[in-house]
Amino acid sequence: MTIKKHHKIFVAGHKGLVGSSLIKNLKTRGYKNIITIDKKKIDLRNQKETINYLKKNKPKFVFIAAAKVGGIYANNVFRGEFIYDNLSIQNNLIHGSYLAGVKKIIFLGSSCIYPKYAKQPIKEDYLLSGFLEKTNEPYAIAKIAGIKLCEAYNDQYKTEFKCIMPCNIFGPGDNYHEQNSHFLPALIRKIHDIKLGKKKNLNLWGSGKVKREFLFVEDLSDACIYFMNKKTNSSLINIGTGKDYTIKEIAKIALNVLNVNCKIIFDNRKIDGTPRKVLDVSLAKDLGWKSKISLKNGILKTYNYYVNLQK
């Protein structure tokens, strides 16, 4: 079953980075029957409230972009919150959707579900084949549990719950907090401060040698809608560009795109995290989807968004 214009679509986490992009993408395609939950009214960690909402509203399709997220600092410091909140949110939404008669879900996870020293590029089959990166282990374990919950429901109840595992995402709607943000939004904030004359040098955590893959959020929302409508035998699908860069290379690309000339200083006392993480996206390509927006264009779009936020 594909999404028709009149179908009711529920987007959980509609104000976040991915959720807000999904809303925009769906509306651009002409879907108007979209429902959302304001977290001030319903706490998705509350099972009764969440399930009652889904049973009452009976959406036909559900996108689960709601999660507690943060960068390496937040993941490592708020470990209890990251595992408890994410387990609660996803369990309530997945089980609640099933009870409300929903047959098709897109559950969003992260490439951090894969082992720290997984063979590169990372295939979907590598899940649970080794130890996780310690700094984001609680978040990763929660997401792995969500994948297994979806798979179990597909097996037992014949649902079509798909799990989309993206690489690092960035774009408009991201969190630019000084400590709790991910690498790329933090990088953009720091470069903007240099442009304003608040700082002279670009100070970054770690060695700058670890490698990361980045995907612009509009590509991810496009993939979510594509795979909601696509019949597949696979419930776990990697989404990315298939191309990674060192942190130092990404910093240089961003400085070049934003016309900033400064010294990059790395703090080797800070943790690096996983040494390399690039996804094997051959399954997504075989199923007819691939990314379209380059890292350079994505950085420029994100920076322009951030500048407008400051006005």
Q: Give me the amino acid identity at 284.
A: A
User: Distance between the two ends of the chain, CA-based, in angstroms?
Assistant: 44
Cα distances (angstroms) measured from residue 290 to each of 23, 222, 238, 257: 20, 10, 11, 24
CA distance 305 to 311: 10
Q: Are 233 and 194 in contact (CB under 8 A)?
A: no
CA distance 199 to 96: 48
The DSSP call for residue 133 is P
**Hunting for tokens 């407008």 — which residue is that?**
308
**SS3 call for 187:** helix
- Choosing from 31, 139, 153, 303, which is the catalytic residue? 139
Cα distances (angstroms) measured from residue 302 to each of 162, 204, 218: 28, 19, 11
139 labelled catalytic: yes
Long-range contacts, 265-270 (Cβ 8 Å, 24+): 265/201, 265/202, 265/203, 265/204, 266/204, 266/205, 266/206, 266/207, 266/208, 267/203, 267/204, 267/205, 267/206, 268/206, 268/207, 270/205, 270/206
Q: Where are the beta strands (DSSP E) in 185-297?
A: 202-205, 211-212, 214-216, 236-239, 245-246, 264-267, 276-277
Q: Are 104 and 228 in contact (CB under 8 A)?
A: yes
Q: Give me the amino acid identity at 142.
A: A
Catalytic residue list: 139
